[in-house]
Structure 1
Amino acid sequence: MQMSIEETAGSRPRAAGSDFPAISGYTEPRVSTSKGGVVHCVRAPQTFTLRSSGDCVVVLLAPVQGFESRSTSGRAHVVDAPAGAVAIVPAGMERYGGWASPLESLTVGYEPGQLGVLAAQAFGLPALKLSWRGFATADDQALQIGHLLRRELLSGAPNALYVESLITALGLHVIRRYSNADSSAKLVKPVGGLSPTVAQRVQEFLNLNVAGKVTIGDLTALCDLSRGHFIEAFTKTFGVPPHRYLLNLRLGLAVQLLSQTALPIAEIAYLSGFSSQSHLTSAMRKYRQTTPAQVRSNGRS
């Protein structure tokens, strides 16, 4: 996708002729996937020009004062934008603007037609129509996805599959909230479970973050469902609620490490997502009717 960006601080040009998903004009953390590209930016006050052959979504990760945007007609729009504010630039549109205070954002560029394909698959929408949206109000769900993307891009070894799933999740949210999609469209099976695509996305996220802090908000951000609807759909799909599913993953990892390594049990507890050795022991005794010491002993016999 051709996405031309010029950003200037004074008269200094920056990043002209960038490509998405390659995002070759950026020096900041970025990842390219088959669906599009994402870049994390922290920029001083400057001006910019944005042109793209594919749809672009920008999510502010922190408030910005005096953000100005202009169309080719010259009409200006100036706002003090909150964290979570979203800007949507449909394919083929050109925007000019700048900001008066430091900016931190996630910019996602989709391959031409990618959001249209997603709209057809998820919502049965024959023709997607996005409209320009400038930074105005906070979008909590977009901000959640933005923080997940930021954390992954800054991890030092971002997982492209996980990033692609988050790009897809943001696309679904944008389609649902900022397009002509039917707001009643559901991303779940008629019986109430998660769709196969969403279920796979959630599984991949949990497998990648088995030892980390995972919240229901992290999971709902992946599939654009309310908290209550998500928990019900997850339970119908996997047979257990999210917290129990994650606990089972952690116990499975702990058993594997106890059986196959000589690591201290306290360290295994930490690596498996438990707060302490006693926490691992109590969970294993309650749900597996055994203890870490017994698992290790059986593994050596």
Structure 2
Amino acid sequence: MKEADRLKWFSLGATLAETDGSLLSSVPHEWGPKFEASSGAVTRTMTGPNSISFNAPSHMALLLLTPQPGREVALNSDRKSQFLAPVGTLEIVPCNAELFAHWPVPKENLLLALAPAQLDRLAGLEFGRNDFEFRSPPSGHIDEKALLLGQFIKEEFRKGESVNDLYMDSLITVFSTYLLRNYSTFQDRRASQPRGGLTPRAWRDVQDYIRANIGDQLSVERLALLVGLSPSHFLRAFKQTVGQSPHQYVLATRLELAERLVATTDLPFPKIASIAGFSSHSHLTASMRRYRHTTPSELRRACTGR
């Protein structure tokens, strides 16, 4: 695809997003990997030099993973500001805002796309109201905490097909909550921070739900709503109660189920992977090798031999 054609295609982002329902449909696939969940979407893009101009189809946050000298940006204005954008620079583009950006050197960044309805729902859970507006940081603003979250997302992307869907959903949820707390009108109205773990009843309900839906893509918001907590409180309470994060617990549960099916049935491995919630046979194999130091084939041979 020629660069001019790619930029023209990118500028059609709002229309494309409305057409196929993807929050990141406006970003060419060749720019980098994408992940989308109920909490939002994120892509790790590597491209440039380049320029873009579009109306944001959702709330967006850009986090730079490489420096950009001479970056030019105009947000809802014809006036372009040029500045040095170091690693960790955070930019926020509210939904429907007009953005122009130009970067004269190749760059790597994370781009989060957050649907207004989903972010309104998250704001209601965290702050008890959803009437907020984003406050864009100044040009070249570095956010070390956002960069730390971004590094976790980048590392998960490196796993390729073995990306943990619930972990990525958790990271997007935490990042979204962080943006609301620090870059919106909620900045002056801190959310309450309840402490303590899950009640025994809540823990049983969460366990039952995870086991009943282990083959589906689970979300932090759904688990939190199940026990009447905000997503951020649920993540803290779950780890305090279980000693693991939700994604670690779910992965362990999926591996236990897969191991049992491998050892006690003659189901094909792709079917077992699907039942246990892995995206593919290769995803199951990679996870079992990493965390159990074996593979489905090796485990079945050992069980057959016994």
* Matching of residue 92 in structure 1 with residue 87 in structure 2: no
**1:38–1:106 contact (8 Å) kept in structure 2:** yes
**1:88–1:134 contact (8 Å) kept in structure 2:** no
Gaps of 5+ in 1: 1-6, 208-222, 262-269, 277-295
Shift of residue 97, structure 1, vs aligned partner: 1.9
TM superposition score normalised by structure 2:
0.60
1:24 partner letter: S
Task: Assess, with a 3 A threshold, how the Cα gap between structure 1 residues 31 and 69 changes in structure 2: closer, same or farther.
Answer: same
1:16 partner letter: S
2:149 partner letter: I
Instruction: Give the whole-Å Cα distance in 2 for the aligned partners of 1:163 and 1:236.
Output: 20
Once the two structures are superposed, what CA deviation does each residue of 1:96-128 show, in whole Å capped at 9, x if it has no partner? 121122111111112233212211111223411
Once the two structures are superposed, what CA deviation does each residue of 1:119-144 show, in whole Å capped at 9, x if it has no partner? 11112234111123355232222223
* Matching of residue 16 in structure 1 with residue 20 in structure 2: no
* Matching of residue 80 in structure 1 with residue 84 in structure 2: yes
Instruction: Give the whole-Å Cα distance in 2 for the aligned partners of 1:161 and 1:50.
Output: 31
Task: Assess, with a 3 A threshold, how the Cα gap between structure 1 residues 157 and 73 changes in structure 2: closer, same or farther.
Answer: same
How much identity, in percent, do the aligned residues show? 26
Task: Assess, with a 3 A threshold, how the Cα gap between structure 1 residues 59 and 135 changes in structure 2: closer, same or farther.
Answer: farther
TM superposition score normalised by structure 1:
0.60
1:176 is matched with which residue?
181
1:17 partner letter: L
Q: Which has the higher helix share?
A: 2
3-state SS of paired residue (1:138): coil
Task: Assess, with a 3 A threshold, how the Cα gap between structure 1 residues 152 and 94 changes in structure 2: closer, same or farther.
Answer: same
Q: How does 1:1-301 map to 2 (within 5 A)?
A: 13-18=8-13, 19-20=16-17, 22=22, 23-25=24-26, 26-27=28-29, 28-133=32-137, 135-154=139-158, 155-181=160-186, 182=188, 184-186=190-192, 188=193, 190-193=194-197, 236-238=240-242, 271=289
**2:56–2:99 contact (8 Å) kept in structure 1:** no
Shift of residue 12, structure 1, vs aligned partner: 6.2
Shift of residue 41, structure 1, vs aligned partner: 0.7
**2:90–2:140 contact (8 Å) kept in structure 1:** yes
Gaps of 5+ in 2: 215-230, 264-287, 294-301
3-state SS of paired residue (1:116): helix
Shift of residue 272, structure 1, vs aligned partner: 6.1
